[in-house]
Amino acid sequence: MTKQLPLINVLSICLVGCGLVVSAANAADGDWKRGRVYYQNVCTECHKAKAGGPIAPNTRTMAEWTTYLKADKHVKGKESLAKYASKEYRASIKSTNKAAEKYADIPDEQLFNDVKTFMLKGAKDGDSPASCL
């Protein structure tokens, strides 16, 4: 037996769906140049110093990066990856990191999206494979 949804619920579901679609579109369309600067100066510099060396975007495929980004796990799953693009994290390193200082006020989601855009674009099979330079 099926139960009919009230009209308002149908409309609401549609609008929520639209919201998610818009979010997904934003996720694919960040500022890749800003993402590149953050990736190079924060991610790469930290990996060089503390995590056994840099990981260039072009060492993974888009699918691999997508899976990694979706999982949102860092430091062997102990922490959220998004944390490293957060204002809080940027504030903690901005005295020694110029990219963190420059982008101190960018909203978390926006900056993380920029970094994601650069990683996917720079992937091995992305539109513009990128090394660590």
Which residues are near another protein by CB under 8 A? 6, 8-9, 11-13, 15-16, 19, 22, 26, 29-33, 36-37, 40-41, 98-99, 101-102, 107, 109-110, 121, 127-128, 133
By beta-carbon proximity to another protein, the closer residue of 33 and 71 is 33
Closest separation in Å from C-beta 113 to another protein: 9
**Residue 72 φ then ψ, to 5°:** 50, 45
By beta-carbon proximity to another protein, the closer residue of 22 and 75 is 22
User: What SS3 class is residue 66?
Assistant: helix
Tokens at residue 13, please? 């579901």
What is the rounded CA–CA span in Å between residue 25 and residue 17? Answer: 12
Closest separation in Å from C-beta 123 to another protein: 13
Contact assessment for residue 37 and residue 31, using Cβ atoms and an 8 Å cutoff: no
